[in-house]
Structure 1
Amino acid sequence: MLKGIANVENVNRLVSKAGLDFCPKALTVVYGRNGSGKSGFVRILRTACRTRVENPAKLKVLEDVYGGSSGPQAADIMIDAGSGDTSIAWTTGMTAAPELARVAVFDSLSAQLYVDGGNQISYLPFGLALPHRLNAICLKLRDRLEAEQAIAVGNKVSLTAIEFPVQRATSAQAFDRALSKSTTDAKIDAATKFSVRDQERLDEVTSFLSAGAAAVADLTALIGWMESVAGECETAATAFSDTSLSSFTTLRNTAVTARRTAQLSAGELFTDEPLPGVGSESWRALWAAARDYSVREAYAGAEFPVTSSETGPAACVLCQQPLHPDGAARLERFQKYMDDTLDVAATKAEEAVAHATSGLAALRHLSAEDFADRVEQVRQREPELAEALSNFQLSATHRRSDAAARLAGEESAPVPPIVSPHAELKELAKKLRDEKDGLSKAGDAEERENLANEKAELEDRKILTSNRAKLVSRRDLLVNEAAYAKALAEVKTKGITQRANELVDTHLTSAVMKRFDAERERFDIMHLRVGLSRKSGQTKAEFEVDPQTKLTKVTSEILSEGEQRGLALAGFLTEVALTDGSGPIIIDDPVSSLDRDRSARVAERLAEEASQRQVVVFTHDIIFFNELCSAAESQGIEPVTIALFGDKDAAGKIDAAGMVWKGLNVAKRIGKIKNDFAPLPKLLKTSPADYEYRVKHLYGRLRDTYERAVEEIIFKDIVRRGTDVIQTQLLRYVTLSDTLAIRFHEGMTRANTYSHDNPAADTVSVPKPEDFEADIEALETLVKDLKTESLAAEAARPQMKPKK
């Protein structure tokens, strides 16, 4: 229910902090003359609540265009939704709060829409709202899902596309194209496997395809060199191992020792010889030269030494002098020495050293000029092997030099360790042979095509592997997209809308037509040749006024302003009557342009509606105000009335005294008189003059009340001043006995006496407070008795029967 408006700021000319309190259950009537501020409150309500006006420009609420106020238009709208008072902050242009959607507003702006646009059944009765609400929910869900989908998916799938340089029928590209929401992580993992070996194979195939006959020849030469170097490395590793080097040292030491032993032996044998050094190395060289000369030239074919000849002593091969017996004997002794075991052993040991020296591995490939270039070729394939080969070459070279030094008896320097890479060289050579075979095959057209296909597969798989994250992202996006597609399919509204329209056509259309005609009959406008029909092509429960003419589709071009207002009210009440709730209605100037007869009908209809729901009516028509209050009382409703006024400073001010006097009925007038009289007994004690002045005024009000009682009580409002309506059907209540007539006359006489201007002489005394109280009580009792007598007279009359 709507409790009121409070804290209004910067709206039209309404006073700051303006507000209204509404009767929460029945009828509130807000009265004010033109310019009193009624429209300002209505403009707030029609923008905050439900109205047929949808044009934002029409709903705009202005500040005081002639004033100096500034800032946004704002107010607090008080409601009670069942859990106590709640304040809803309102500002101009804001979206209507859902809590206020059930509050319907009717004013001049919406009146023409009801005439020319029909009435929209926003809340359907009889359970028909369910499919329409479901339809609305589905539409909201669709909008939300589409918004979420735009954020979660949008064009992100295209951003996960993988760019392949060449479009071709490879397995990787086929997998990329076939990726779907059902593609598992395992499948993605399997499709994106690209190992180090795959990269090696890709490089290999690439080289196969790019190489020619020259490459095959170069590779053949490299393989041959690597095999030779591998053999040389293997030989050098053995020949110059630590064991071999030690054996060279041992061999040299053995020869030196053997020779020294032989020399010692010679020294002991030839101590008496004329010259020293027999058996020394230089002596041995001299002996060997003499022997060679004797055997080959001087005494060819004779066994050395030759000491005699057929003619006598032989000549010495050195001095060529005849050998004397001592000389011949010395040569015999020397030969015997040379044939001795120690000398022979020494000679063999020295020959072994010489053989070892001449047999040292030459390291031909390791020391060749192209060794560095070949190592670089190896490095391009296997850098670690190239490094090992370079290290071996340095180590082998040092060790060979060391071996020669050891055999020569020279001082030996420290040598680096030696690790032969011959096994790795042989393995690489084997791979190169396979590569050479591949290169040879690449020359064949069919084989080349196979290699090209293999290269394409490897290249695209490598690209796919590097974009695995994109594949996973796209698969996840497709999963989300499929989920949204499924959800959107679930909220399609075609079937719901079709069923909803069928139900509306079957159950609601006739009810709307019937209710619309009933409302028109209440306002006595059934003579208008207009009807109500379901809007064609609409999925909502909307109906439009049918002018039933081909000359125009706009009803307002046919009807007068009064007829339009009556028809609009009929449409509005049809709409609110056929809703699924009893939300409040707010009506501004409902009888504008209506004649007094239809004004009374509207008052009766709104009072009847107020018995069903909360009704708030704004009006400037005092006669309609009285009619509405009277109709409400006949429904057993005590309306809440509010009087607004405006002055040169602001509007929207509430008259603290309540309604203007002529807007009050007999009961309210009596109540106001009694209220105004309450302070007078005390005033009499302090200011008799003021007392006289004010009590005289109250007697004038008492006289007005007697006059109003004639119209309202005695004649039951059959004839009202200011209207041209005579309600003859109420004559059955009219009666006035002599006793009551006399009491009426006496009371009216006293009121006239004390309210008129009396002479200065005290011919008419000022009534005392108890006298006024008695006169008020007399009027109250008279009104009560008049009503009782009226009801009794109506009950005593025979019931009127219609003529046959």
Structure 2
Amino acid sequence: MVKEEHGAGGAAPVQPIVLSAEHIPTAGARSNVHLLRIGNLQHVNRLPAGHGVDLASDKLTVLFGENGAGKSGYARVLKNACRARTKLAVLPDVFAAVEPRPTPSADITYAINGGAATTSSWRQGAVAVRALSNVAVYDSACGSDYVAKEGVSDYQPYGLPYLNRLADAQKTMQATIEQERNQIRLNAAAFTDLHGQHDVGEILGRLDKDTDVARLRVLATVTAEESARIGELEKILGSMNPEPDARAAERLAERLDAAAASAQKGQRYVADRALDEVRQRQANASAAADAWKLAQDRLHMKEDDADVDLLEGTGNDAWKKLFKAAEAFSTGHAYPAHPHPNVEEGARCVLCQTPLDESAKDRLTRFAAFIADAASTEADATAARMKETMMAIADANLAPLDTPTLTELETVAPELRVFVTQAVEAWAKRRLWVETCVGTNEWSTERPPLPEGEALDVRLRSKAEALRTHAKELRASLNPEAKRTLDGEKVALVARQRLAQRLAQVEQHICDAKLHHNLTTVHAALAPRKVSVKMTELANAYVTAELAKVMTEELTALGYRRKVLPDIRGRTDVGQTMVTLRVKDCNDAPGLVLSEGEQRAMSLALFLAEVRLQGHHSTVVFDDPSTSFDHHHRRHIADRIVALASERPVVIFTHDAVFLTELSRAIGDHAQTVAYRTIAWTGEGPGFVSDGLTWETMNADARLNDLEASVKPLTTYAGDYMDEATKEAVKVGYTKLRGTIERAVREVFLNNTVRPFTDEVSVGSFGAVIGHPQEEWDRVSEIYARCCEVTDAHDTNAARQLPIPDPVVLLEDIAVFRAHLDLAKKRRRAFQAERSKQIEAAKNPF
């Protein structure tokens, strides 16, 4: 974002968000918010859609599961929904090839102050429900807000650590920016060979971040004509006798001028305007011919529309020639004093010389009127004009250059030579097209296009002028002043040509110069002084001695064995204001003195102190709180969390079986109620929640019930003999029965005199161990021996394979062992009753 602000980078992938009440974890005031369920999980890690877990509203909920079982998915949702001190975005299934990634979501059900259940939807990235901000969440990452990773242990009110991190981030980013800036190597001297008295040299002589890149790109664009010009200049400057070349250039220029005149004359016959005119003239001729045809029809009709008995063809072109010949004879020889036809009395026909009767006079008068009609005249005129037009097009010279000139152009101007060919071919196609259209009177076919760009005559004249200029330059090359001018032109063109080859390097230098300048600006903008001043102000205003006092009490409750006084200090450390908790009588940082477990204890104590001082009794969530703790701290933590559950609902996610044992002990000692849940993998994936604990954590009674329920269906196998699947199931059953017997020996027969993962022996419990009849113990031993024979945990010699007992036998063994277990419990209860009497008697000696 800082780079974007100062022009040292593109748009930042994230944009700053203005702080609002929704971001403050105390925004829910003092309401007691109890979590009831997190459900309908969608796109949360790899948890199957729709999964969820019920949470106890008034007691302790323990969710146990192995690593990777899916506990963290539920915990991460709660951290985000309840806005814990530290949180990371919940990811969808990262192994699913779905783009764009779906948004994780869940439904969270809760009650406020014991009221009706409310369900709110949570979506990753959306504003969380304000009430859920009262639910506190703790995990190992929470310690980073209390115990600094650099070794400084500190507590700061919520929000102040983020200013610490901001200042740290600013210093870290400053170092990163400095490293990035130092990697930029600016060396403008690499382009000194392009310096000189020309445009390229002047720009590169002042090469920096503000250099005009657009102007450089224009200079680096060398056209084909300019490249050819370099060759011309080299030839001019290197010639000892330029006169022959000058004369040759002038002669070619003269031929090109003549060709240009011919091209100008010829190309106008096939220009678009000319072809449009041809089409119009043909249309006019057709219209005139149609009018003449109507006049002919009228010639053959009387006024009363009756047909006149005239010879076929009367009125056509041949007849018109005959009539005009007769007219010429009449006015020139027979009757020069009379207009044709002479129809006066006594006149005779000039052809047959027969005296004219009235009908003949009438016909001649009508013939004369027909010849004088405008339609006839227009038809003659348009037909003549059309004929002249097509003759002109046919006679037009559409090949203005002779073969020698074309051959010379191939060397002098190859591009012009190509254009000449294109133009001549296009003209020929257009002439053929118009002739075809006129002949067929069909104009719907597409007109062939002309080559793009300037007309051929313009190009020929331009080249002729360039040749004359070239001739002058050739003769001027003998003049020192003119030669210097030509040499300067060549040097400038060569510099542009070389710039084109190195333009990418020059542009990179300019980009690097801009980046170097912008990074320098960014480096200055990242100075954390203003943040440090604000941190000191906030720390001095809001950190209280009460919090330090409560924190010390919590450290004691957690079994922290070092005396710590909350020496709250507001100080500036390299521009960073710190609120630090020091170890009494020690000047070194706690991170250098305390172990990892002791630091974890400190962070947990600070968290619990914060919970106590919030003024409400909302649900508290712990995600693996026993991480990094030894057995001493683990026991105290279990006691403290169970005690906390007597004040408010507590949710614990854990994978630690030892910690689970300590929780079980503490729950018994505090007579606390608890809801156990197990989170495990199933065929659908991780995150499957079931009531109760796993087999490994069940007591002997629960195991026997579970085992009996799983064995009963095996007795219904089909056939006279067990199939392999049933045999394997029986083996598994005996294996579990074997483990159950071992657990029962510890829990019941030994009366929990010795517990796993503890460092104490319960001497008082040992009194119930004795008194087992030999017959009972022999029966238990027999069942246990059968378990050892059947289980795959023991290898059996291939030569001595024992038959697998029938499932009915397994059920009988379970029933017999349960009966002996009940007898042992009965004796234990009798012992406990007798022991209670002795204790009461000791309390009342009189």
TM score, norm. by length of structure 1: 0.44
Looking at CA atoms only, which structure, 1 or 2, has the larger radius of gyration?
Answer: 1
TM score, norm. by length of structure 2: 0.42
